Structure 1
Amino acid sequence: MKYFLFTLLFAIAGGSIAEAQILERLGKKVKRKVEERIDRKTGEAVDKGLDKVEEAAEGNGKEAGEDKVNEGQPDGAGQANAGEDKEAAVNAAGEFAVYSKFDFLPGESLLFYDDFSADNTGDFPARWNTSGSGEVVSLGGQSGKWLKVPDNTTSFPETGKTLPENFTVEFDLFYPSGSTRPPVTFGFSESANPAKEGLKGGKLFYFRIDHFLDKVGYSTSLYSGRETNKEYFTNKAAGKPIRVSISVNKQRIRLYLDHEKLFDLPRAFEPATLRNNFHFRAGEIIPAPKESFYIANLRIAETGEDARSKLITEGRWTTTGIHFDVNSARVQPESYGVLKEIASVLQENADVRVQIIGHTDADGPEELNLKLSQERATSVKAVLASEFGILPERMETGGKGESDPVAPNDGPEGRAQNRRVEFIKQ
């Protein structure tokens, strides 16, 4: 790479190599960039052009199968093409554009996480409870494992504590196509054990996705159970995962489905309400057939201090809210809210430079984890530059792989805490 860049610089500056030879060597993808730099004929422009060439060359030079194996997936998951994932992150403008109004910020202090990777297919998950039945399954065409929530059944994670005043809930929702799907209900109640006590406390608050009317509504004890509906066209989302994000700030609650904010309710809870559980319930279908919906990757986390301010005051900010595809360096678009926050800090402090460090869990070979962590940091830098206009020269990247864990790697919750991105003020 160094020899190639030196040759290119010498050719542009001194003309010892014909322009046609340079363009042929770089190919169509870089040709336009080089021609623009030649036209300007300034050293600064050449330097910037070389930076672009180097990034493009590195992004396209990866070999298939060099990515991390089986992070967050059951045994037997295949390897991903790291080069393609990295290039996808650099060119993700179209994907991120639809998330431009997505202001959801996940909590950073993890209270509960489960991707069911520790549970056997066919079993009910060990850290959950239910009023009826359910089982961990694999879904054709979908990665990871899913919890099946059967008809007329309540299922809930055993968090072992009352939820705090300020927290977030995230999970993936999947329901099949067809006209007999049960309504999807998820929400909060005062009951510490809904399987034994039922959903006492008027259910406090719940969202309901009604598949027959293609509506999303809510009901809350504060509003005497009144339900308000807003169209979401859920039939268009049937048969593919939906990312559900919920933000709770004291009495206020917000609901997002994928990138769209459907509800922002300032008085959803009564003051001093105890939210002792978060649960899922499949409404009863009469008559048969009785069907189910499925959930995966449940994450509940407390929010508190503005963590991003730590970058300026303490010189370091770490987040688990930037998500990547499994075994991949591709940044998932739902990370937009977190990326927007860090970008705003950098925009408001133009003299600040940062080092972006990627971290992984300990699944898979150590050398591949190190490589993946470096590629993920590079992808974050690329998105901050392309989507938010942060100058690339203000950001350095690196990766520590699995070498610096903050939690044990013996369960999904610990592994989720270890998969993180760190920003260090330079």
Structure 2
Amino acid sequence: MRSLSLLFLAFFSFTCFGQTIDKSYDKYDFVAGEKTLFEDNLTYKDGEKPLGKWGMEGKASIIDFEGQKCISIDEYYTKLTPVLFGARKMPDSLTIEYDTWLDAGYDGNPGIEILLLSDDSQVVITPNKHATSVNYPNDGHATKDNPAEYFGEDKFYNRWVHVSIAQYKKHLSVYIDQYKMIDIADCRLQPKSVMVTGNKSGKMNILLKNFRIGTYVPKKITFVGGKFITHAIKFDVNKYELKPESITVIREIVTYLKANPAEKLEIGGHTDTDGTPDYNMKLSQSRADAVLNQLAAMGIGKNRLVAKGYGQTKPIDPKPTPEAKATNRRVEFTKM
């Protein structure tokens, strides 16, 4: 049961629409895979094992931090292995996204690292306070200093940093927030699995949330039967504010509407079945409104747009599985 205070805050948020995405993301070009292979929104029912969607060595737990659930790394050299939906094999092309928090005081500890594994070979992706680096087979190494104005000595810590990784066959790209940091034409490995590692020290936090693995990266938006469905417009759990990495697909919608000035679109917000139907209806409406406001801020007339929240009433997949829930959390654009 949600507390009365949380319900009050949720109701209040539904009445005040959020700000548009910062213009510093104007050149961000990461495209998330539309098909979800793994996602953990950290909502577990009674009787379910916490972090049951992960294989684990070491120690990690789910905690409440700044009003949101996240994964806390609780032991030195903890390893988390996401179990793909349906135990699928890793595809040729994949995307990985997550938000990470590292307390100040870690100094050289990079916090969360991502390992792409294949038999005895690995690619190690390491965001750190000064630079982002990738080590890959046959002594391959790439590193790039973080932008000083954004990742200075004291700016990497005590805040959420978004990491986006794209691998198309053996072409690997790594983004830190809006910056494309690493681009390797051949990382010499096609991964068979993904691992998340972290080295806890003392009582300092290493945190993880919004972890997702996707595949099928669309080259451009396509309307099928007058509808375009996307999972690349992102929100935190139980929030309606657009996450800035949503800008890539929203920019494509803007391009489409400017090229087709007679077109009008309904923006449909859809949730999974976690939470009450009434709560989900309000949440989905606020999310649809947030997308409409962003499109309007980018030059699309509001007379061409309608925002409609559908909550959990129109699932694509009615099964109560994590994969179905990930499929049902979406935004739909429908021609009117």
**TM-score range with shorter-chain normalisation?**
0.7 to 0.9
Per-residue Cα deviation, 1:354-388 (whole angstroms, up to 9, x for no partner): 121111222333233223323322221121011x2
Q: What is the rounded CA distance, in whole Å, between the counterparts of 2:204 and 2:190 in structure 1? A: 32
- Cα distance in 2 for partners of 1:215, 1:251 equals 22
Q: Shift of the alpha carbon at 1:411?
A: 4.9
Mapped contact 1:149–1:280 kept (Cα < 8 A): no
Residue 395 of structure 1 aligns to which amino acid in structure 2?
A: L
Aligned to 2:117: 189
Which residue does 1:320 correspond to in 2?
A: 231
The one-letter code sitting in structure 2 at the alignment partner of 1:274 is: Q
Contact 1:161 1:276 (C-alpha < 8 Å) held by counterparts: no
Letter in 2 for 1:399: G
Whole-angstrom distance in 1 between the partners of 2:132 and 2:65: 26
Task: Give the alignment's TM-score, normalised by structure 2.
Answer: 0.85
The reply to whether residue 170 of structure 1 matches residue 87 of structure 2 is no
Q: Equivalent of 1:251, from 167, 170, 183?
A: 170
Deviation string 1:60-104 (CA, Å, 9 cap, x unpaired) is xxxxxxxxx96xxxx888133556556443xx24x4212111111
Deviation at 1:281, TM superposition (A): 2.2
Judged with a 3 Å threshold, the aligned counterparts in structure 2 of structure 1 residues 293 and 328 are, in CA distance, closer, same or farther, namely closer
Question: What amino acid is aligned across from residue 165 of structure 1 in structure 2?
Answer: D
Cα distance in 1 for partners of 2:128, 2:284 equals 41
CA displacement, residues 326-350 of structure 1 (integer Å, 9 cap, x when unaligned): 4343222221111111111112222
CA distance in 2, matches of 1:119, 1:366: 16
Q: Please report how far the alpha carbon of residue 406 of structure 1 lies from its aligned counterpart in structure 2 after TM superposition.
A: 1.9
1:293 aligns to 2:206 (yes or no): yes
Aligned to 1:110: 36
- Compare the two structures and name the one with the higher strand fraction: 2
| Structure 2 equivalent of residue 156 of structure 1 | 81
Aligned CA-pair RMSD: 2.9
- Unaligned 5+ residue runs, structure 1? 1-68, 192-199
Contact 2:44/2:50 (<8 A) preserved: no
The CA distance in 1 between the partners of 2:50 and 2:309, in whole Å, is 36
CA shift in 2, pair 1:370/1:137, >3 Å: closer
Matched-pair contact (CA < 8 Å) for 1:116–1:412: no
**Contact between 2:132 and 2:182, CA under 8 Å: does it hold in 1?**
no
Give the Å deviation of 1:305.
4.3
Higher alpha-carbon deviation: 237-246 or 299-308: 299-308
Mapped partners of 1:396, 1:140: distance in 2: 35
CA distance in 1, matches of 2:35, 2:70: 24
2: CA distance between counterparts of 1:353 and 1:97? 25
Whole-Å separation in 1 of the counterparts to 2:270 and 2:26: 26
Q: In the alignment, what sits opposite 2:327? A: 417
Correspondence for 1:233: 152
Contact preservation (8 Å) 1:323, 1:332 = yes
**Which residue is 2:124 aligned to?**
206
Highest RCO, 1 vs 2 (Cα 8 Å, sep ≥ 6) = 2
What residue number does 1:126 align with?
52
1:189 Cα deviation from its structure 2 partner? 1.0
Distance 1:262 1:314 in 2: 38
Q: TM-score, normalised by structure 1?
A: 0.68
Structure 2 unmatched runs, 5+: none
Secondary structure of 2:248's aligned partner? helix
CA distance in 2, matches of 1:155, 1:326: 21
Deviation, structure 1 residue 277:
1.1
1:280 aligns with 2:205: no
Q: Which amino acid aligns with 1:102?
A: Y
Match status 1:78 vs 2:3: no
| Structure 1 segment 10-409 matched on structure 2, within 5 A | 78-79=6-7, 80-82=9-11, 84=13, 87-89=16-18, 92-93=19-20, 95-118=21-44, 125-130=51-56, 132-148=57-73, 150-159=75-84, 160-179=87-106, 182-184=109-111, 185-191=113-119, 200-201=120-121, 203=122, 205-211=123-129, 214-221=130-137, 224-231=139-146, 232-233=151-152, 235-267=154-186, 269-270=187-188, 273-282=189-198, 293-306=206-219, 308-309=221-222, 311=223, 314-386=225-297, 388-408=298-318
Letter in 1 for 2:185: P
Which of the two has higher C-alpha Rg? 1
Tell me the amino acid that sits aligned with residue 264 of structure 2: R
Paired with 1:278 and 1:216, the residues of 2 have a C-alpha distance of: 18
Change (3 A) 1:82 1:380: farther
For 1:304 and 1:227, how far apart are their aligned partners in 2? 24
- After TM superposition, give the deviation of residue 170 of structure 1 in Å: 0.7
Partners of 2:73 and 2:323 in 1: CA distance: 20
The one-letter code of the counterpart of 1:230 is D
C-alpha contact (below 8 Å) 1:320/1:421 kept by paired residues = yes
Aligned amino acid, residue 297 of structure 1: N
**For the residues of structure 1 that align with 2:177 and 2:74, how far apart are their CA atoms?**
21
1:162 partner SS: coil
